[in-house]
Amino acid sequence: MADRVDRFEALEQQLELFIENTRQLGIIVSDFQPQGQNVLNQKFYIDQGKNPNLYTKDCLEKALVKNEQVKGKIDNFKRFKGMLLVELEKSFPIVINNYRALRSDDRPT
């Protein structure tokens, strides 16, 4: 549990830093002066001077891969739930029928 809290705190810090950097970038860009270019170059850079489209493409590809992994896990848990209900129904038919009756009000099992 502590590891999970630490991860959320790290995520929160990263988000706060991102928000602050975005705010500063907005200020610099909205009132851009040529002398501000050095500050902009020092503070903000996109993929170490590489094409930002490549960076975006890479991020999207990583997100798609992660999405497929999560989708696979969800599908596996759904199959497991179905198999578990079938096996439990063999041993506890009344309990599972009551469970299904209760769950039918919320969502399908």
Supply the pLDDT for residue 21. Answer: 82
pLDDT (0 to 100) of residue 26: 81
Q: How far apart are the first and last CA of the chain?
A: 29
pTM, two decimal places: 0.47
Identity at 31, one-letter amino acid code? D
The size of the chain, in residues, is 109
Q: Which is nearest to 28 in space by CA: 18, 38, 19?
A: 38
Note whether 109 and 103 are within 8 A (CB).
yes
Q: At what angle do helices 52-91 and 93-106 cross, to 10 degrees?
A: 140
pLDDT score recorded for residue 109? 47
- Name every residue whose Cβ is closer than 8 Å to that of residue 78 and which is 6 or more positions away in sequence: none
Per-residue pLDDT tens, the chain, 109 aa: give them. 677 778 888 889 999 988 988 888 788 778 777 776 776 666 665 546 666 677 778 889 999 999 999 999 999 999 999 999 999 999 999 999 999 899 876 555 4
